[in-house]
Amino acid sequence: VRTAALGALLALGAAAAVAAPPPADDTHWGEEGAELVERLRAGGVVLFFRHERTRPDVADRQPPELADCAAQRGLSRAGIESARATGEALAGLAIPVGAVLASPYCRNLETARLLFGRVGVEPALLGPERPLGRGPDAAVADLERLVARYVGGTANAAFVGHFG
């Protein structure tokens, strides 16, 4: 699981760095960046994304109503544009992504759809301070079990959640 966690952190760093696709020879990535891109192309890594930026003028209704997007803080215009750009960059880098899972909050589901065009709901990605009432230790243990299920193989998995 530690290897998977390290892979997830590396993958997240790569995702943050892919504002624009690299030139065909990958030279602007530098040696370490090019190695990371090749590692991601090989698959078997779990990429973790925190949901994109949200609208600061809207608060989630309390208690949370996960089925009602109008009762939740949604993505800002900048968040929507950033998720689209990151998704396009990952696609342009030919990073294979199989499973795409997100917490049931609408901002997470929308971020995942904008990044990858699809999403499945995964309550373990809610994090420790969310409606399941779990503490940090239980939330981390749930996330470790989830990562262990998806690490390895020929495609990467992508998670969108609240851990920040």
Helix runs in 20-126, H state only: 30-42, 77-92, 106-116
Please tell me the predicted confidence (pLDDT) of residue 21: 43
Pairwise CA distance, residues 62 & 6, whole Å: 35
Question: Is the preceding peptide bond at 63 cis, omega within 30 degrees of 0?
Answer: yes
Please tell me the predicted confidence (pLDDT) of residue 162: 82
Residues 6+ away with beta carbon under 8 Å from 43: 96, 98, 153, 154, 155, 156
pTM of the model: 0.79
What does the chain come to in residues?
A: 164
Please tell me the predicted confidence (pLDDT) of residue 61: 87
Average pLDDT, 10 consecutive residues per value, the chain (164 residues) = 43 43 51 85 94 92 88 95 95 94 96 98 82 75 91 92 75
